[in-house]
Amino acid sequence: MSEKLLLEGLKVIDAGSFIAGPVSTTILSDFGAEVIKIEPPKIGDSLRHLIARTKRVNPVSDKDYCWHLTSRNKKSLALNLGDPKGQKILQELVKVSDVFVTNMPKRIRDKLKINASDLIPLNERLIYGSLTGYGEDGPDSHRTAFDTMAWWARSGLMDIVRPSDNSTPGMPPIGMGDQPTGVSLFASIMTALYRREKTGKGGEVNTSLMANGAWSNGSFIQAALFDADFPERKTEVAPHPFGGRYETKDGRYLLLAIIDAAKEWPKLLKALDIEHFNNDERFSSFQKMNENHQELYKELEKIFKQHDMNEIVEKLRFSEVTFGILSKSTDHKKDEQFLKSEVLVNFSKDSFETENFTVNSPVFLKDEPKKTPSRGPNLGEHSKEILSDIGIDSNELDKLKEDGIIDF
């Protein structure tokens, strides 16, 4: 195991907002990078206010869960980039940093002078990462977007998951497209860092919500590109028993995904102790099961309804039958698989008064530990520390605060 974290010594400036862009720097911080989160003085990142503004439709908590998930491990610098003095401070930070990340729209980048063309000349080793709604070029490149629009709706995913063509499109939860898009930006940054090791030079990388939505919907988009025929969805299609959703006795749902029926079907019958199905003329061959699939589905429904989910899981766990559990977000902190595989990890003991878990980033390197997550920072919590490191003395810090350039 390494004596220090893999990215320890890497300095990152996070000039992003909300979720998608900052997710990339969260993962960098998990592997030890120092991440400086730049926020507007007084008001801070808009993400700090998201839950309060949307509590009618989102979970209510005394902790800002979106902020602590996406901003963990980071240092907060409250800096007014709308003022030339604030821009000058940013430029000094860029000179000693390795990565700069933003998901600000183009017009804001122009106004704040934080384009790649503004910053890379200050530091030829800088990796400049940008994340947009629809890409850096094209007729929609200037538009602002959230993942609901660019990742979920524009990609076609919102349409595909509708049960029928007449169904109302559903809305995704917070960050559904932001989180995977942030992982893509992280991967782009790491690729650029690898290139820098070979060339000594940084460069610009980018991704978009729309591109990642298209990649997530890649199979169906590729089908359309090959002029495939898409059947009209007039009503919800009844599920096939080998790929059905089954309610259990305790009101939960289990999913089957039997692809190799010749191999898995006998194992399912044995695990559920229903091998007598083989004696039923309706199900005596795979051809007959397909012909009578609705009846088979109803029979299996009865079987699953006789058992609680935990009973079913114990019966199927080692059966080699492919199945899944429909979980709720409230289930995971008691899910042994989430805990043992470190999908959930503890915040550091000094983060909160009581023990709390957080969702781990989905990138794992064997023998490379991650930092124990710490809570998201208070606004301007590290302003003095960060600016002192680049030679700004206490008198100048006080003057900058008085002028509204920084806050602490």
Angle at 22 between CA 405 and CA 407, to 5 degrees: 20
Q: Where are the alpha helices (DSSP H) in 226-319?
A: 261-271, 286-291, 293-304, 309-316
Superfamily of domain 11-218+335-407, CATH level 4: Crotonobetainyl-coa:carnitine coa-transferase; domain 1 (3.40.50.10540)
- From CA 110, how far away is CA 184, in angstroms rounded? 24
Q: State residue 233's pLDDT score.
A: 85
Residue 390 and residue 100 in contact, taking contact as beta carbons nearer than 8 Å:
no
Tell me: the pLDDT tens digits for 55-112? 889 999 999 999 999 999 999 999 999 999 999 999 999 999 999 999 999 999 999 9
Task: Identify the pLDDT of residue 352.
Answer: 97
CA-based end-to-end distance of the chain? 38
Say yes or no to pLDDT of 1 above 60.
no
For the stretch 198-238, pLDDT in tens is: 999 999 999 999 999 999 999 999 999 999 999 988 776 77
Task: Give one DSSP letter per residue of 339-393, joined into a string.
Answer: HHTTSEEEPPTTTSSS--EEEPPS--BTTB--PPP-PPPPTTTTHHHHHHTTT--
pLDDT in tens, 261-298: 999 999 999 999 999 999 999 999 999 999 999 999 99
* Separation of CA 179 from chain center: 2
Following CA atoms 169, 174, 178, 182 in sequence, which dihedral angle do they give, to the nearest 10 degrees? Answer: -160
**What distance in Å separates the CA atoms of residue 363 and residue 30, rounded to the nearest whole number?**
10
For residue 96, give the amino acid letter. V
pLDDT at position 163 is 87
At 314-329, the pLDDT tens digits run 999 999 999 999 999 9
Task: Look at residue 166 and tell me whether its pLDDT is greater than 70.
Answer: yes
Query: Which amino acid belongs to residue 342?
Result: E
CA dist 122 and 143 (Å) reads 28
Query: What tokens appear for 392 in the block?
Result: 């700004």
Cα–Cα distance, 201 to 198 (Å, whole number): 8
Strand extents, DSSP E, 86-126: 99-102
Pairing of strands 34-39, 99-102: unpaired
Q: What percent of the chain has pLDDT over 90?
A: 95
Separation of alpha carbons 156 and 210, rounded Å: 10
Other Cβ atoms closer than 10 A to 321:
21
Span 15-38, average pLDDT: 98
Q: What tens digit of pLDDT does each residue of 341-395 get?
A: 999 999 999 999 999 999 999 999 999 999 999 999 999 999 999 999 999 999 9
- Tokens representing 15 are 């000039």
For the chain, what is the largest distance between any 2 Cα atoms, rounded to a whole number of angstroms? 89
Q: With contact defined as beta carbons under 8 Å apart, do 22 and 37 qualify?
A: yes
The SS3 assignment for 204 reads strand
- Specify the range with the lowest mean pLDDT, choosing from 5-19, 164-178, 363-377: 164-178
Structure tokens at 399: 């003057």
Chain-wide mean pLDDT for the chain?
A: 96
Domain ranges in the chain are 11-218+335-407, 241-331
* CATH class label, 241-331: alpha beta
